[in-house]
Amino acid sequence: MKSTTLLLCAAGLLALAVPASVHAGGNPDKKAAKKAAKAILAQYDKNGNGAIDGDEVDAVKKAYAADPNGPLKQFDTNADGKLDDTEIAAIQAGKGGKKKNKNGTPSTPTPTTNTSTAN
């Protein structure tokens, strides 16, 4: 009886420990995609403002057109052979898609205003 109880307890602890160790490392594919997005952002964000804007957008689109199977391919989420503004925005978010809120809707940045009254 004692050995059966001990065996069941050990099996229960093992069942709890295995999923925790499996999830502890995170999703390696997701980490790799985020790292690739950061590298692409660093490559094309020439003015260093953390966004791909202005002429940088054109440079990204031209680079993807020149090498459609290159590192930018992962951001062509609709597989139309072109990068649209939403897909380029995903590079800035470090993802292969749009960032979403907790309720599942796409998030939009909240504009900030300067309320200081310095003279």
The model's pTM is 0.56
Residue 104: per-residue pLDDT: 43
pLDDT digits over 56-86, tens only? 999 999 999 999 999 999 999 999 999 999 9
> What letter would DSSP give residue 49?
S
Which of the residues in the chain have pLDDT under 70?
A: 1-26, 95-119
Task: State the Cα–Cα distance between residues 118 and 17, nearest whole angstrom.
Answer: 58
Among candidate residues 99, 97, 62, the one with its CA nearest the CA of residue 82: 62
What phi and psi, each to the nearest 5 degrees, are found at residue 106? -60, 140
pLDDT at 46: 93
The CA distance from 10 to 12, in Å, is 5
Q: Parse the chain into domains and list their residue ranges.
A: 27-98
- Look at residue 105 in the predicted model and tell me its pLDDT: 44
Q: What is the pLDDT, as a whole number, of residue 4?
A: 58
